[in-house]
Structure formats: C-alpha cells, structure tokens
Amino acid sequence: MELQNLQLSFPEDCNIILGQSHFIKTVEDLYEVMVNSVPGIQFGLAFCEASGPCLIRKDGTDNELIDLAVQNMHRLGCGHSFLIIMRGAFPINVLPGIKACREVVNIFCATANPVQVIVAKSEQGAGILGVIDGTSPRGIELDTDITHRKKFLLDIGYKR
C-alpha cells in the first residue's frame, strides 16, 4: 500500500466540502441540496464512482467550479468520494442538507482553508484516510481575540 498527501486546489474566495457517499444518485441529490439550500449559489460538484464504469460524475451551476472539482477528484482518484466547491455561501448553509442526504456516509471537511488529503492506494483502488484542514494552533485565544471573533461573526451576519 502507498500513502500520498495530496493538496486540494480551489480559489481563495471559495469553500469546499469533501465527503464520502455510496451511490450513483449522489450527484443528483447533492445538486438538489445545494440549490434548495442557497438560491443562486455558485458551485461545482464531482463524485467518483467505485463500481460499474467508475466514472467521475459531475454537476453544478458554475462551469469553472465544476471543472476544478473534477480535476481535484481525478487527482485523488478515491472511489465513492465527492467534492463540492462553492462560492457565495458557507458550508454551514448547506451541511444540514448534505448530512441528511441518504447517500452521504461521511464528511471529511468543510472549509475555506488549504486542505491536504491523506490517500491510501492499493491494487484495488484508493481511499481517503483523512484530511489536514488548515494549520496547527499557534496559541490560546486572549480577551482581544474573543472580541475580534465576536465582531467577525457580527460583520458576516451570523450573530446580532
């Protein structure tokens, strides 16, 4: 078995959701979750089949983001995994619907941070072992950091 550490590539103004699912219907159902959660959302979705023709299935509302999702999933090459790259919304807006989707088995990360994916490859195929989401902590928050966090949540409209 071979282990790889692969960097996902997506624009700085985007968030991603990387997950695992189990059925060809994943693409259609996740598309519906996305457009029903945030009207007008821009996103690209790619899903790697693990049986049958083993294709990378794709959908979305933005061709650039669809292409990026496909490129990332082609590089990972992990069966029954999906990647959503979204612009103009946060994962918190769509995660409840994604988690409720019958095909979704696991969410590895939902983030705007740089992401490294730890992939195991064998003769049978490849699978995601886990992710490195962003960087390690550099310290413990102080009172000024708490004030900044609360102001940030106000500024982006998540607290009043």
What is the Cα 49 distance to its own chain's centre?
A: 16
Establish if 6 belongs to a structural domain. yes
| pLDDT value for 109 | 98
Question: What do you get for the CA distance between the two ends of the chain, in Å?
Answer: 51
Q: Which domain holds residue 29?
A: 2-155
Establish if 160 belongs to a structural domain. no
What is the longest distance spanned by two Cα atoms in the chain? Answer: 55
Establish if 96 belongs to a structural domain. yes
Name residue 23's amino acid: F
Establish if 149 belongs to a structural domain. yes
Within 10 angstroms of residue 86's Cβ, the number of other Cβ atoms is: 29
What CATH number should be reported for the domain holding residue 148? 3.40.1520.10
pTM (predicted TM-score): 0.93
| pLDDT value for 94 | 97
Intervals of the chain under pLDDT 70: none
Burial class (CB in 10 A: 0-12, 13-18, 19+), 156: exposed
Q: Where do we find the tokens 């990378």?
A: 56
Establish if 112 belongs to a structural domain. yes
Establish if 148 belongs to a structural domain. yes
| pLDDT value for 157 | 87
| pLDDT value for 133 | 96
pLDDT single digits (tens) 3-43: 999 999 999 999 999 999 999 899 999 999 999 999 999 99
Establish if 12 belongs to a structural domain. yes
Number of domains in the chain: 1
